Amino acid sequence: MNKPYLSIIIPAYNEKKNFKNGALDKVNDYTSKLEYAWEVLIIDDGSNDGSDKLIADFCDKHPGFKYIKNSHMGKAATVKKGVMEAIGENILFTDFDQATPLSEWEKLEPYFKHGYKVVIGSRELAGSMRQKEPFYRHLMGKGFNFGVQLLTVYGIHDTQCGFKAFNGEVAKKLFSKLQVYKSDVEISRAFTGAFDVEILFIAKKMGYKIMEVPIKWQHVPTDRINPIKDSFLMAIDVIKIRMNDLQGKYTS
């Protein structure tokens, strides 16, 4: 088998609604038309709603799709598992709900041919298409990004968009250096966290240029996120990233 040009990582946690809405069918429709080798790795984060069985069955029936079962450890550990398992020249992670259509990869891909190793989707740049998000969510995102730019990753307008691509080897290096989100301890609730911030901070620390590209994104309602509580926990983690840096934990 040829080494895939693209590894697509999709973290999954209690995705029955999104599965029944055809999220994976959309992924399959897109990948089936690609003219290069690819793989799709779906990493289940300990789902308990029955979606794990639906997804595993889907992967069994669709060549190129691989299902990996994880304990419930949160999105950071789930994406990291996918990165370490992926064998593609480039690695893209995207959300299960396909809030950003997989075809938006075509906007990111050209920058790899110009030497970039980290290329991320953005909902904030001119030219992006951001639809249907509640006003309070957008406002909280703006406030969070202000703190992120002040303390960690200056110059990135949208660190939290769940559509990011990396050179494969670089992705493995970055995820192996996580400090705030290096834990593989089981948790009791859904939590996305600010691991994107830590990854981008490490990338800048290592000297990689980051290209931010406007993409299409549509808000998909979910009851798994507590905007106020999660934003507070993420803000604490951003402070931890800054403290880790001051202690030299990202220099080794």
Which of 129-143, 147-161, 199-213 is most confident? 199-213
Distance separating alpha carbons of residues 68 and 77, to the nearest angstrom: 13
pLDDT value of residue 104:
97
Residues 6+ apart with CB under 8 A from 1: 37
Helix axes 227-246, 135-151, angle to 10 degrees: 10
pLDDT value of residue 232:
81
Q: Is pLDDT at 14 greater than 70 in this prediction?
A: yes
- Across the chain, mean pLDDT equals 89
Residue range 25-36, pLDDT digits in tens: 999 999 999 999
| Nearest partner of 43 among 2, 6, 4, 15, judged by Cα | 15
Q: What is the CATH number of domain 6-246?
A: 3.90.550.10
pLDDT value of residue 119:
98
Residues 6+ apart with CB under 8 A from 184: 71, 73, 77
- Domain spans, the chain: 6-246
Distance separating alpha carbons of residues 247 and 98, to the nearest angstrom: 38
Give the pLDDT mean for 8-16: 97
> Global pTM?
0.90
pLDDT value of residue 187:
67
Residue range 42-57, pLDDT digits in tens: 999 999 999 999 999 9
